[in-house]
Amino acid sequence: MRFLIDEMFPAAVVGLLGELGHDAVHVFARGLGARPDAEIAAAAKAESRVLVTENVQDFAHAPDIAVACVLKSRLRPHAMAADLAAVLHGWVATSEDPLPGMYWPR
């Protein structure tokens, strides 16, 4: 799966997802830190990536991309990158390629 990780999540998750066979990039690596939501959504669409974010309301207006919504409160602060990688990897293992829309991996 191809992921674009939003800025509220640690960049370390990119390497962990890579070890699990996924293609992930962080918004900071794309120069998208603190950029408008429309730019982040456009980058996800242009690169055919699932946007991983906690900001559900910010991306509800982007119906042409897949958005994986993960709440940080469900992740252990000291192990957030590892927990997020495990959640996303488990979601991919039990799901087909996502169509545009909102998803709630657990």
* pLDDT recorded at residue 62: 79
pTM of the model: 0.94
Q: Give the domain range for residue 54.
A: 2-103
When pLDDT is cut at 50, 70 and 90, the band that residue 95 belongs to is confident
Rounded to an integer, what distance in angstroms lies between the CA atom of residue 66 and that of residue 98? 6
20-72 residue pLDDT tens: 999 999 999 999 999 999 999 999 999 999 999 999 888 887 779 999 999 99
List CB contacts of 18: < 8 A, sequence separation 6 or more. Answer: 24
The number of C-alpha atoms within 13 Å of 104 and in the hemisphere containing its C-beta is: 4
Counted domains in the chain: 1
